[in-house]
């Protein structure tokens, strides 16, 4: 299978490296230094146990540099770049190829489907985590299951993608309920991302600090009530226990929102905690904790250049 990773930051690099063991993979990222390092010395992926591997992959900041069309485009960009990513996939994706989003937050599937069509769009979630340590070097900071859902796509083609993922060591299954997948991951992100960004701590700290657990539990409870109001069935019976379990399994990981704040970049709070606020307003469910977390993260974004430390 010929695969393009559009948005080859930390997560895209991890998936690209693993998939390259069974497929032809092309990495596309706007990070020119990352591109330069990968093409010069290879992509280095480090594990939490201190081991690492190097992968020789093609990387570019321009999708037009890909030779020929691809069977699969995996979109790993930030949510606010989803439309541009989908547009960039148009000329490189085969007419019957698939685009898979493994991004955070609500709304990405619809944006991609509007451009490529429902039959070519697959949504998924993953529990893997990664940190871009420096150009050409990514730490694989957390592992877990990956799930796809494809209500409008060719089931045989989606099954083939899952088969390739599993062959590459990415444990993957297919679900028939897209909302369950997306909201299951969303609630994990609601509990972890904003709080780590505000406190500047790794995931594991949240699950072992009572003061953090209190806030995390309130934000998760609000999100669950919104999901209930929308009639969405979650993939686990105890959401807060699930969030704490993810904190434990990804203890060494720096959540993507924390990484963004540390880099002075725009975050995805708008499609995570802020999305819960919007859905709460629509359903009449109060969401004060998610509103507060959203506003604090937005204030951090707005004051990046004025930071004292």
Residue 127 burial class via C-beta count within 10 angstroms: exposed 0-12, middle 13-18, buried 19 and up: middle
Catalytic residue among 2, 78, 185, 279: 185
Check if 305 is active-site: no
Task: Report long-range pairs for 288-294 (Cβ below 8 Å, ≥24 apart).
Answer: 288/222, 289/215, 289/218, 289/219, 289/222, 290/190, 290/219, 290/222, 290/223, 293/194, 293/195, 293/198, 293/215, 293/219, 293/269, 294/194, 294/269, 294/270
- Classify residue 177 by burial, with Cβ atoms within 10 Å: 0-12, 13-18, 19+: middle
The residues assigned a catalytic role are 185
């Amino acid at each position: 299978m010929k695969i393009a990773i559009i948005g080859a930051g930390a997560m895209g690099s991890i998936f690209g490296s693993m998939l390259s063991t069974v497929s032809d993979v092309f990495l596309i990222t706007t990070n020119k230094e990352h591109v330069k390092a990968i093409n010069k010395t290879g992509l280095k992926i480090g594990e939490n146990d201190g081991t690492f591997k190097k992968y020789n992959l093609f990387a570019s900041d321009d999708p037009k540099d890909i030779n020929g069309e691809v069977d699969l485009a995996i979109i790993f960009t930030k949510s606010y770049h989803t439309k541009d990513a989908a547009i960039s996939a148009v000329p490189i994706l085969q007419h019957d190829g698939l685009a898979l989003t493994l991004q955070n937050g609500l709304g990405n599937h619809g944006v991609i489907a509007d451009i490529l069509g429902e039959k070519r769009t697959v949504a998924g979630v993953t529990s893997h985590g990664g940190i871009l340590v420096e150009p050409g070097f990514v730490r694989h900071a957390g592992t877990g299951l990956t799930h796809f859902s494809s209500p409008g796509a060719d089931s045989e083609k989606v099954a083939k993608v899952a088969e390739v993922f599993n062959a590459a060591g990415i444990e993957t299954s297919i679900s028939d309920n897209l909302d369950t997948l997306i909201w299951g991951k969303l609630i994990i992100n609601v509990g972890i991302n904003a709080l780590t960004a505000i406190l500047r701590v790794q995931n594991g700290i949240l699950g072992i600090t009572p003061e953090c657990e209190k806030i995390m539990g309130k934000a998760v409870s609000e999100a669950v009530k919104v999901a209930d109001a929308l009639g969405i069935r979650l993939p686990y019976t105890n959401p807060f226990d699930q969030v704490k379990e993810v904190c434990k399994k990804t203890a060494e990981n720096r959540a993507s929102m924390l990484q963004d704040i540390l880099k002075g970049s725009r975050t995805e709070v708008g499609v995570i905690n802020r999305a819960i606020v919007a859905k709460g307003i629509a359903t009449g469910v109060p969401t004060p904790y998610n509103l507060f977390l959203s506003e604090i993260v937005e204030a951090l974004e707005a004051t990046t250049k004025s930071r004292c430390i």
